[in-house]
Chain A
Amino acid sequence: MDQASVAAPALLVPMRRERWLRNTLLGLAFCSPLVLLFLLLVLYPILYMIYMGLDREIYTDIFGDPIFVQTLWNTAIFVGFAVNVKMVLALTMSGLFSVENRFARILSGLFLLPWAIPSLPGILAFRWMLNGQWGIVNKILNDLGFAGYPWLVRRPTALAAAIVYHIWKYLPFWTLIFVAGRRSIPKDLYEAAEIDGTTPLQKFRFITLPMLRNLYMICSLLSMVFSLGDFVIIKIMTGGAPGDSSHVLATLAYRYTFLMGKIDWGVGTFITALPITLLFIFILICWVK
């Protein structure tokens, strides 16, 4: 055994360490802008918000506001109905658009239109259609011999209008996701089922549904997180009317912060929803893993 062959492994260790260090430092250098942005724009505001929200008096004040508890309910109703109805419909519709024929393709193109329309004109169009005096919905009802209804002047129908708009607007997007999900299911599963003489409903129940289960859960949770912070629909559609009875947390927090100048109340409103949001995110992460 000569001296060179003994020294070689001893030299290799520092070389490897140097290479590891070099690669790590280089990697950190390239990542640092993103890490810095994350710390500045995500972590710092969240921690600061939580710090601001530690004052217990805020919660005494906001729960003392007669509309706050109703707003919590509204948010739960809005998110619960809008997301679940939308997801069930999206799953159902995705079956139609998975059919491979020309008509289905044209229909799916048209079906995407609401998603492509910008929110503001869409919501305003809904609002005008539901106008109690000259809206087209009441016009049609009147022409058919029924009395009109002040849709946006009653809390249940005002909230329902916001939910219907949400479904109309976002149904195409989630349908598209489920269409992609359906297309990833191996066809031979369906062929085997057909040989066994299964009905379409059985195919859906025993193949499609189990195969899309994870995707469905992830999409539902994601949609719930998005919808919890939805501001534009309620702000433009009802503005909280009638009598502040249709606010959701996002619109109420906006009012507290920017109209009343009470940033602590705005923060408190979001902190109230934070446990639910974090729970959704936690379940989502567990599910994905």
Chain B
Amino acid sequence: MANHGLLWRLPWIAAVCVALALIGPGLAGVAGAGEKPKLVVWWNKGYYKEEDEGMQKIAAAFARENDVEVEITFTIQDDLGPKITSALIARRVPDVAFCFFNDFHISPRFAWDGRLADVSDLIADLKPRYIESHMSTGRLFSKPENKWSYYAIPIEAQALGTHYWKDLVKEAGFDPDPKKIPMTWKEHWDFWKKVQINLRKKDPAKYGKTYGIGMTSSSRSTDTIYNFEQYLLAHRGEVISPEGKVIAGEAKNREAIVKVLAFFTSIYKEGYVPSDALTWTDGDNNANFHNKTVVMTPNPSISIPGALFFTNKDAYYNKIGTILQPTSPVDGKGYPYLVAVKQVIIPRDSKQQELGKRFVKYVLDVKRFTEYVKASNGRWFPSFKDVAADPFFNDKKDPHIPVVTDQFMKNETRPFYFSYHPAYVQVYTENVWGKAISRVVTEKWSNEQAVDEAVGRIEQIFKSWK
């Protein structure tokens, strides 16, 4: 009987399946014993195809020279961040991971959890080449090991600049030369307000919806954090001490935070910032700038002019200006620029940690890395002095890149607060400053109330990171 035969064969079929399932991976291991070691690399997709092509070439050369297989994939940061987070939690990891969100969301958190490999040896090799403030961002705390060490490899950075439309400034009756833009605090912001007023007076139909200041003020955007904390330094305020203690509640710091919040909320409420800035994502100030809804926007990279380099040389060279930040309203002096340094990580669960380190070192070779970082067209500034010395970063004919080079090389720079205590990554993810702005603007809280809530939340977060 066919049915009967099938019935009694089933246990045997099942037994064979189970046996294969059990010994299959072992057999695969035996079969693969003679194969080359494989390095799995997750790399952030670049903004230009030249960046990805450059990295692919580097990976291929590394594979050839070291007789290994390199599996490299490129993913945009919005997807790659959650992907790396999931991988680290699940402990099924790549061997090397580079994401633009590593510094703000991933490295401090997972170094704290002991999920990242110690890369101090690699950092020691690279130390003579590093810009000091960049290198220090890789030094993080591991709770299981109870020590500070290097758990991330900083490679490139960005800091807050400002871009503006020269033609709109001219149209408003002002000299658009970057040297003529007022750079003392009050005069600087009054200038952009006057530009808006003049434009709207001149042609209400054309400029009725053009705003003087494209200030990102939303809880959805990391730009809000950049802007707020950079201007907090301008007001001589601090949130965290270098020892990692919350000092935002101290009278001097609280007062500075209130002043910065009042600055953000007043320019918004007075109508110099587009109403939707309260919901902007990181790309929205770029979009508003490109469609000329705003005359100027503070932005933490030169992605705005960079986007036009290949498509509109006239705009890149003649119509967009790039400047740095105005002087402190407290004492009229300069202040340190916050640098967000993008980092490569090697997970502790990687079985190819040493090969991963060799790969990163290979990528960071002066010649190779110079070519790679140049392909980003100035969006990123290298964390290495020898790479930054390349003529590309000092070409005086370029109206944007040398401004950034001066910002990094001639000004004081310092890392964001997560370098002082990893709990601050949660403060960033919760975007307490964006939330405080929203409290004042949409829920009619006072600036003081909103600051007290934000500071209280920061203290609460720090207490939970024990």
Contact = CB atoms under 8 A, between A and B. Distances in A.
B278 A258 contact: no
A121 interface: no
B265 to A, nearest CB: 12
Contacts of B220: 239-241
A133 B277 CA distance: 10
Contacts of A245: 438, 442-443
Contact of A242 (B10, B88, B279, B426): B279
B89 A150 contact: no
Interface in B276-312: 276, 278-279, 281, 293
Interface in B88-109: 88-89, 105-106, 109
A263 interface: yes
Interface string B421-432: 000011001110
B209 A152 contact: no
B10 A153 contact: no
Interface string A222-264: 0000000000000000111111110000000001011111010
A155 interface: yes
Interface residues of A, number: 34
B219 interface: yes
Contact of A153 (B106, B279, B426): B279
Given A239-B220, A241-B279, A244-B219, A153 B86 contact: no
B435 A133 contact: no
Contacts of A134: 209, 293
A154 interface: yes
Contacts of B281: 239
Nearest to B276: A132
A29 B10 contact: yes
B85 interface: yes
B453 interface: yes
Nearest to A127: B279
Interface string A38-81: 00000000000000000000000100111100000000000000
A61 B275 CA distance: 33
A131 interface: yes
Contacts of B218: 241-242
B146 interface: no
Contact of A238 (B88, B279, B442): B279
Contacts of B106: 261
B104 to A, nearest CB: 10
A22 interface: yes
Interface string B1-28: 0011011001000100000000000000
Contacts of A263: 89
A260 B109 contact: yes
Q: Taking each of A22, A66, A154, A255, which has the highest tally of chain B beta carbons within 10 Å of its own beta carbon?
A: A66
Given A61-B464, A133-B209, A263-B89, A241 B429 contact: no
Contacts of B10: 25-26, 29
B128 interface: no
The majority secondary structure among interface residues of chain A is: loop
A131 B7 CA distance: 66
A11 B439 CA distance: 84
Nearest to B437: A243
A25 B4 CA distance: 11
Interface in B431-455: 431, 434-439, 441-443, 453
A243 B438 contact: yes
Contacts of A64: 460, 464
A245 B209 CA distance: 27
Contact of B438 (A65, A131, A132, A242): A242
B274 interface: yes
B110 interface: yes
B29 interface: no
B279 A25 contact: no
Contacts of B293: 133-134
A153 B219 CA distance: 11
B385 interface: no
B125 to A, nearest CB: 29
Nearest to A243: B438
A175 B298 CA distance: 49
Contacts of B453: 66
23 contacts: A22-B3, A65-B430, A66-B453, A67-B435, A132-B274, A133-B274, A153-B276, A239-B281, A241-B219, A242-B278, A242-B441, A243-B437, A243-B439, A243-B442, A244-B438, A255-B429, A257-B85, A258-B85, A259-B85, A260-B429, A261-B109, A261-B113, A263-B89
Given A131-B276, A132-B276, A242-B218, 17 more contacts: A26-B3, A64-B460, A133-B209, A152-B279, A153-B278, A153-B279, A239-B220, A240-B219, A241-B220, A242-B278, A242-B438, A258-B81, A259-B429, A260-B426, A261-B85, A261-B113, A263-B89
Closest 6 CB pairs of A and B: A243-B438, A258-B82, A241-B279, A150-B275, A132-B275, A242-B438
Interface of A: 22, 25-26, 29, 61, 64-67, 131-134, 150, 152-155, 158, 238-245, 255, 257-261, 263
